Amino acid sequence: MKVWFPHEKVRAEQNEFVKDAAEAITKGKIFLAHAPTGLGKTVSSLAPALSYALENNKKVFFLTPKISQHEIVLATARMMNEKFNLGIKAIDLVGRKQMCVDPFTSRTGMGFYEACAKRKKDKTCKYFTNAKGYTPKQKAVSMRLKRGVLQEYNNSYLHIKEQCQHRELCPYEITLEMIKGAHLIIGDYSHLFHEDISEGILGAAQTQLEDIVLIVDEAHNLPERLRDMLETSFDVSALEKAIKEAKNVGDFEVEFLLKDIEKEMLALGKKLSLDKSEARIEAHELDFLRKIARDGIMQMEETAEKFMTKNKTENSYLMALCSFLITLLHEKQHTLYLVQRKGSLGIGVYPMDPSELASEVLSKVHSAILMSGTLLPLQMYSDVLGITESGERKTEKEKTQLLHNQNVKEQFASAKELSQTKKETANPRLLRKEYKSPFPKENRINLFVGGVTTKYTSRSTGQYTQIAEIIDRAVAKVPGNTIVFFPSFDVMQSVKGAMKTRRQILKQEPEMSQDEKTKLIHNFKLLGSRFGGVLLAVSGGSIAEGIDFPGDYLSCAIIIGVPFGKMDITTQALIDFYEKEFHKGWEYAYNGPAITKAMQAAGRVIRTETDRGVIVFVDERFGEERFRQYYPKDFEMKKTNEPEKEIDKFFG
């Protein structure tokens, strides 16, 4: 296969990635790639994927959690077209709600999708009617209105949205129609991994998973995102509003059903106390709710529709309750059920196993590239996503037997026998590889400062003061901007109170709007060209992952503490699940995600070949052997108690 690579120069490590990606695609493999920043993951995956797809009548799906990445993918497709005249047609796909131009439906909060479906069913959305048409006359008008828009490939979703708004067309429906003729679809994980959404996408594309070459960007996010797609909750406050809706349309039978649900939820709430805001529920304790759902769900849906019609509203708490009850009926394996108090008493449903969704896609697609700059250890991600020896998901019994056999081999097999076993069981469907950073090593220094920690049991005013002094000394020697990443907002606030730096301090807040965050980043970047400022942020947040700071925008990142997740019932359940599945509960559910967050934050500093910068890891736990497996092979940290001296020496 000829790979249409659009750049003149290809770096050695990048060339290796392109070759491996091409092999994975042509041989129908699942390729997990730890590819550091600077390797050019986007073009290095797209070039072989599109080259193969054009030649073999396949479609490429490039899925990313960051909308900002969509334009980079579009630009790469345009570049390939300009250089090789390939005629690639790319579509920028975002969610239906984000594309909506209806002045009423677009402002709907909870229940948007139910409201949208109802308006389509009632034939009251002119934008959908104009895009699709119900009668022969409407279809003829629709064809005339959308004729020009349907060829607007290789443009951002904002362009399509603007064109459709001008013609009073539904942008989402137009985009779906364009998918059929597209070679490249740029979207979110949900567009293929969410069962209901993917059904509509694949139907519109008139294709099947077997004809898709899949690229998953920032794949370290995929397990958590899949769990988020599976989870749902409903509380008594929303239930009381649903009861009022049933009363509003005079459906006393449904009202009584809802009051029975309320009694059951309140009874489960007795598991809680003043100092206990969540408690585990066993699956059988929800049998009564499931029975109500089976017997009354259709009647509840009809009542919700009556309420929305009568009150000319697109919102319905009763319809949202129906969605929740349907989830209860379609129970996933390995699910945690909680009764919880988050403002109001409620019930939460938290499936533990993301491979239930992942394997449905990854076992069927033609081939897939899952890539990230923090995808270590690679074995962890293939396990968690259910990519097994055959490329298909094993049953729990098969997994237990596999672990037993593995333990026996480790204890009794000779090295030669183990080597032979590995050859025999090597997965022909799976390719895993870790690549080195292409950036010059001398452009970056990683410092490790021990003697302090943010470990919960060690937190004190004294610790916070020590950490603040380390930050102050380090910042004073940085000729530019510094971001300090904390494990939580609480720790940030405690340390900030003890800081004495003279640099201007900006701070990420817990609930910032997109506009507020954009303004914060803009103001911080401006400080880089002056004396330099300090931005306080949280590891694992949007600033730590979704934003680039090339050049003078950032010279130093200080990572305060290991950003472990909160140890609650959900985290413990996840640890228990992965311990049972792989004998690696703490590694997969707790340690791995924490170090990944820290390494993502550290990755903000060096974004281009010419960037120079310092990363300071401040917590004695960063030096522990148990975390070694999560660091890249070429990753080195210099231990010091005086980071300011090393920083001064580095910047000269």
Three-state SS for 555-616 is CEEEEECCCCCCCCHHHHHHHHHHHHHHCCHHHHHHHHHHHHHHHHHHCCCCCCCCCCEEEE
In angstroms, the CA 556 to CA 606 distance is 9
Domains of the chain (ranges, CATH numbers): 230-351 (1.10.275.40), 441-651 (3.40.50.300)
Residues 6+ apart with CB under 8 A from 295: none
Q: Which two three-digit tokens encode residue 75?
A: 């630009």
Alpha carbons 612 and 555: distance in angstroms, whole number:
7
Burial of 46 (0-12, 13-18, 19+ CB in 10 A): buried
CB 75 within 8 A of CB 43: no
Predicted confidence at residue 422, as pLDDT, reads 34
How large is the C-alpha radius of gyration of the chain?
27
Other beta carbons less than 10 A from residue 77's beta carbon: 24
Which residue in 340, 432, 299 sits closest to 378, CA to CA? 432
Sheet of 184-187: strand order equals 90-92, 184-187, 59-63, 212-216, 367-372, 30-34, 430-434
Structure confidence at residue 224 (pLDDT): 96
Nearest partner of 41 among 372, 379, 430, judged by Cα: 372
Alpha carbon 454 to its chain's center: 26
Q: Phi, psi at residue 246, to the nearest 5°?
A: -65, -40
Evaluate whether 105 touches 125 at the Cβ level (below 8 Å).
Answer: yes
Give just the sign of the alpha carbon dihedral 343, 349, 350, 356: negative
What's the distance, Cα to Cα, between the start and end of the chain in Å?
A: 49
Q: Write the single-letter amino acid at 440.
A: P
Q: Does residue 437 contact residue 36 with C-beta atoms inside 8 Å?
A: yes
CB hemisphere CA count around 626 (13 angstroms): 12
pLDDT at 396: 44
- Rounded Cα gap, residues 648 and 260, in angstroms: 68
Which stretches in the chain have pLDDT values below 50?
390-401, 404, 407-426
Residue-wise pLDDT for 100-125, tens only, equals 999 888 887 767 887 888 888 889 99
φ, ψ dihedrals at 110, nearest 5°:
-65, 135
Tokens of 229: 């797609």
User: From CA 524, how far away is CA 552, in angstroms rounded?
Assistant: 11
Closest CA to 536 of 605, 486, 471: 486
Burial class (CB in 10 A: 0-12, 13-18, 19+), 103: exposed
**Rounded CA separation 95/91 (Å):** 13
**Is the previous residue joined to 171 through a cis bond, with omega within 30 degrees of 0?**
no
How high is the pLDDT of residue 389?
55
Please give the torsion angle defined by the CA atoms of residues 155, 158, 161 and 165, in that order, rounded to the nearest 10 degrees. -120
Of 208, 241, 116, 233, nearest in space to 170 by CA: 116
| pLDDT for the residue numbered 406 | 52
Q: What pLDDT, in 10s, does the model give residues 394-451? A: 444 444 445 545 544 444 444 344 333 333 334 578 999 999 998 889 999 999 999 9
Q: Is the separation of the CB atoms in 159 and 70 below 8 Å?
A: no
